[in-house]
Amino acid sequence: MTGFLAQMLNGIQYGLLLFLISSGLTLIFGVMGVINLAHGSMFMIGAYLAYVVTAAALPLWAALLVSMLAGALFGSALERLLFRHFRKREHLDQVLLTFALILLFEEARAALIDNQFHSVPVPALLDFSVRVVGDFAYSAYRLAVLVVCLLVSALMVLFIEYTKIGSAIRASAESPEMVDLLGLNAARIHTLVFAAGTALAMLAGALAAPLQSVYPGMGDGFLILSFVVVVIGGLGSVGGAFWAALLVGLIDTLGKAYLPQLAGIAVCGMMALVLLWRPTGLFART
């Protein structure tokens, strides 16, 4: 039972990290119609930023702020300089562009840092275990990551659902033509969405850095699962991405712990069933 509780908490925490990545991915795809294969690289860049900042003897919370700010600025620049010009191009062109960006980011990382594995220390303030129930204790840092992800997720959902800018973003995802008819500034909405999505992915990378090694291509696995989340949750649906990310995180974590041979099959099989039964996604608005 203790091991099961630990894996459940791990699955929830993993799912929330997936949500930070996939929410930006689903909005970018839903609002702009852009397939961004380089989104996983944003996760990797965030993790490497955490490594660089903490290696300079600065606290992890500073790395989190740096990753979010750098992500917003970097995402804005990418949207204005590149993705804006590819929004109405064929998806194959977008795939080729983002694949080229993956290669460029990997080469830049190798030139600026190296190709080695690195570790980011858990903050001393959170380097202990918290008794949850009975004799079961859980990492304080993992609990902190869970809480931070929940807070960020709640703020994002509230922003999307209950603000005027959020309404414009939802309208752009569901009916881009309506946004043009209402006279809203679609270019600014696209920049905001891309900047926010990039910032969230880099924040997720910085949060995950103390939980695993920081290494080249570490965002590839998260990118694949993020696309699974987008398919299951529904294109452009932030709420759908939240519940789908939790579902995928729990299935993937519990599967690797108890049925490692079937873990990958379970996640991909669930996506295939959703595509057959409800192609728009389980939580998409109909």
Q: Is 2-277 in CATH node 3.40.50? A: no
**Is this model's pTM higher than 0.85 or not?**
yes
Within a 13 Å sphere around the CA of 266, how many CA atoms are in the beta-carbon half? 17
Each residue of 155-182: pLDDT tens digit?
888 888 788 888 877 777 666 666 667 6
- Hey, where are the domains in the chain? 2-277
**Whole-number pLDDT of residue 168:** 78
Each residue of 212-258: pLDDT tens digit?
889 998 888 888 888 888 888 887 778 888 888 999 888 888 888 88
**Whole-number pLDDT of residue 89:** 80
User: Which residues on neighbouring strands pair with residue 131, listed in sequence order?
Assistant: 137
What DSSP line would sit under the chain, residue for residue?
-HHHHHHHHHHHHHHHHHHHHHHHHHHIIIII----TTHHHHHHHHHHHHHHHHHTT--HHHHHHHHHHHHHHHHHHHIIIIIHHHTTS-HHHHHHHHHHHHHHHHHHHHHHS-SS-B--PPPGGG-SEEEEETTEEEEHHHHHHHHHHHHHHHHHHHHHHHSHHHHHHHHHHH-HHHHHHTT--HHHHHHHHHHHHHHHHHHHHHHHGGGS-B-TTTTHHHHHHHHHHHHHH-TT-HHHHHHHHHHHHHHHHHHHHH-TTTHHHHHHHHHHHHHHH-TT-TT---
**Whole-number pLDDT of residue 284:** 66
Contact by Cβ (8 Å): 249, 15: yes
